[in-house]
Amino acid sequence: MQSNISNPIKNYLVLSLCIAAAFVIVSNYIGQYAATVASNAVNLLVSAPLVALSIILVLRNGIRGNFGKAWIFFAAFAMLWFVAERIWTLYELVYQTSPWPSEADFFWLAGYPPYFAFAFFYMRSFGKSVSTKLVATAIVTVLAVLTFIIYATSEEHSGLSDYERALALSYPVADAVSLLPTVLALGLFFRGQVNLLWSLMFLGMLSFAVADLGFTVLSLDSKYYTGHPVDIPYLWGYILLLFGLCSHLQIFRKRGSGNQFNDQNDMR
């Protein structure tokens, strides 16, 4: 395992994760509405910079090479999810009505294909490092998660329509598929072939997957509300992605505009 992230950045990352969790936990002690407001506020604070930094990376890196294409797709993913988040907040805090299901689901689900494309181009330069055994492990992990999702949600939930049930299940299913590149990236990290910088970009999606599974289980039983403690890993997902982008921006400044991040050795 390797890490090229300086200790101050690591400390800021851990501090940010703790603060986000504390906001959710403390606000829940105050009340459900306070938890909803706090969760929406923290969400805006971490998702808006994510969009801004992703656009900056696109502008600085250009469209050449695997990483240039990867950042274009990541920016599309970040913007689609940002729109979804703001629609959710609008329904919940302004219209004061249930934001689920709503138009926000379209933007969230539309964000997964760009993320998959991002992961494909992001990992493409490491194709020779990805062994058959690692691919098999990733596939088995995805199938295991899908099996667990089917088992955990197999009971009938009379409070939801067929559309709502299918919509709730679509998120963890999409997340399970996203675990394929995540397992590959983490496998490379633990084998010492890539550094923590790379892993943050996939640890974020892993955190989203955990949160979405909790969201699905609670929503099927009509127990979910924005600001529920299950939102903690969801906010962590944005924070991990945000710090991953910050680290990439640091590498860009060190390496100069003429290099398009195609040398694996500098990423280890």
Dump pLDDT digits (tens) for 15-74.
999 999 999 999 999 999 999 999 999 999 999 999 999 999 898 877 777 888 899 999
With 70 as the cut, is the pLDDT of residue 262 above it? Answer: no
Dump pLDDT digits (tens) for 70-125.
999 999 999 999 999 999 999 999 998 888 888 999 999 999 999 999 988 888 87
Q: What is the pLDDT of residue 62?
A: 77
**Spatial separation of the C-alpha atoms in residues 216 and 223, rounded to whole Å:** 10
Which residue ranges make up each domain of the chain?
A: 7-256
Dump pLDDT digits (tens) for 138-180.
889 888 888 887 777 666 555 667 787 788 788 888 888 888 8
pTM, two decimals, is: 0.87
Q: Hey, is 197 helix, strand or coil? A: helix
How far separated are the first and last CA of the chain, in Å rounded? 9
Instruction: Render the burial of 24-54: b for 16+ CB within 10 Å, e for the rest.
Output: beebbeeeeeebbbbbbebbebbbbebbebb
With 60 as the cut, is the pLDDT of residue 244 above it? Answer: yes
**Contact (CB, 8 A) for 195 and 3:** yes
Cis amide prior to 49 (ω within 30 degrees): no
**More confidently predicted of 212 and 197:** 212
Q: What is the pLDDT of residue 172?
A: 81
Q: Hey, is 268 helix, strand or coil? A: coil
